[in-house]
Structure 1
Amino acid sequence: MEFKSLYENANFCIDRFKLIIRWTASSKQRVLGVLLAIGFFLISIELGGPLYLLYQSEAEAKAHMERLNEKSKMAEYELTLDAIDACLKSKINEPLLHEWYCRSASEQYRRLNAPRLPARVNEVIEKHAYLAMHIDVKHYIRSMEVSSIINEPETANEKIIKVITSKTFLAGWVIFSISIVFSFLSLMKKKGG
């Protein structure tokens, strides 16, 4: 059954191809127009395919680096949060190491936050406000989660729109349209004259 359907489809395509060849062969302008269209199509595939793949691979590499950077920051925040939790719990569970845990938590907190808010970091560390450190780090983690939602990758439709509105695509479309118009005008001129 499938073979018969395939055979019928092939015959249909061959018949249409013969019809196009007969229509094209009736004048030089039609031959020129069809050759221009085929040439444009082949050049578009030759240039557009690799350009599209290059664009896709660059976008994927950029998205991968962003995810990697985000995961690295998240790991840093979680390490700081673990150090702060260890400090808070060590007061009861390991009183002899409490000071060491808290010093480690303060160092981790300073390394994580010093570039961002130096005055706040110094104040929190001087006051040994480990709950405030905990709150700050939790806030950064939540901010990263929101940021990752905001910076989600493009959808397929957004990618298609970018390609269609790109300068290369538009320039190619204009050249193709102009060549079709000139082919049509030369055909009309020949029939009229």
Structure 2
Amino acid sequence: MSQLSDLDENIKNLVGKIDRYFKWTADSAWKRMFTLIAFGGLILFAQAIYLNHLITEMDKDSIQYAEENRLLESEIRYGLAIDWLDTCLKNASLKSENSIWYCQYAIEHYRNTTETNNEHKEKLIKNIAYEAMLIDLKNNKRRIEADRLRLKYKSPEYELLTLLVSKTVSTLFIALCILSILGLSFAMYKYRKKHQRDA
């Protein structure tokens, strides 16, 4: 019960402060104009701060997007090298006349799967270990797929920012600002009229 009485007391205090402020604005058009401009500016400032916060969060998402693209490119490179190695192994087992050509391409693509050449990769190439190269590539491709799955998450801030900057929501926000300012203006006008009648 004391919470309700505290709430009632807080509401009465707030109404009293608003009443005193309206009394202060009642005697001057400049004060009323200042109030309307400050109220509208406060609404726009709050929206700008919030949108700035969402854009900061989106920047984090764009870094994530760049990482996802990098992983996708690597996955494509690995997939291509796997395809060449599969073709090489199939043609070698069939003793095809093109098997040497396919295997040369397979080694070339295997070598280009990563930016850095490590000792393990060079050992596999030197020993012409096609099956081991294939296992190595498939393992790396699975690792990339797992990394991409971890990056798939889209933050709620991204979804919210997309919604807030849409034309419909922007138009509704502007309409809400105008209606709020008109409502405040009307309330000050009514208060002024009431104050003039009471005086």
What range describes the TM-score normalised by the shorter chain of this pair?
A: 0.5 to 0.7
User: How far apart are 1:157 and its partner, in Å?
Assistant: 7.3
Distance 1:147 1:88 in 2: 29
User: How far apart are 1:110 and its partner, in Å?
Assistant: 1.2
CA gap 1:114/1:149 in 2 versus in 1, 3 angstroms: closer
- Unpaired segments ≥5 residues, structure 2: 1-14, 26-30, 161-199
1:136-155 counterparts in 2 under 5 A?
136-153=136-153, 155=155
- Say whether 1:69 aligns with 2:70: yes
Distance 1:55 1:24 in 2: 37
CA gap 1:53/1:124 in 2 versus in 1, 3 angstroms: same
Please tell me whether the aligned partners of residues 114 and 121 of structure 1 are also in contact (alpha carbons under 8 angstroms).
Answer: no
Match for residue 175 of structure 2?
A: none
- Say whether 1:24 aligns with 2:18: no
User: How far apart are 1:40 and its partner, in Å?
Assistant: 4.0
Distance 1:114 1:21 in 2: 67
Identity %: 22
Please tell me whether the aligned partners of residues 63 and 153 of structure 1 are also in contact (alpha carbons under 8 angstroms).
Answer: no
When the two chains are superposed, the root-mean-square deviation of aligned CA atoms in Å is 3.7
Match for residue 122 of structure 1?
A: 122
Partner-residue secondary structure (3-state), 2:98 = helix
What number of residue pairs does the alignment pair up?
137
TM-score, scaled relative to structure 1? 0.56
Partner-residue secondary structure (3-state), 2:146 = helix
Which of the pair has the greater relative contact order for Cα pairs under 8 Å at 6+ separation? 2
TM-score, scaled relative to structure 2? 0.54
Distance 2:94 2:53 in 1: 59
- Unpaired segments ≥5 residues, structure 1: 1-17, 161-193
Which deviations, in whole Å up to 9, do the C-alpha atoms of 1:113-160 show, x marking residues without a partner?
A: 46152x112211121111100110011111112212333435327999
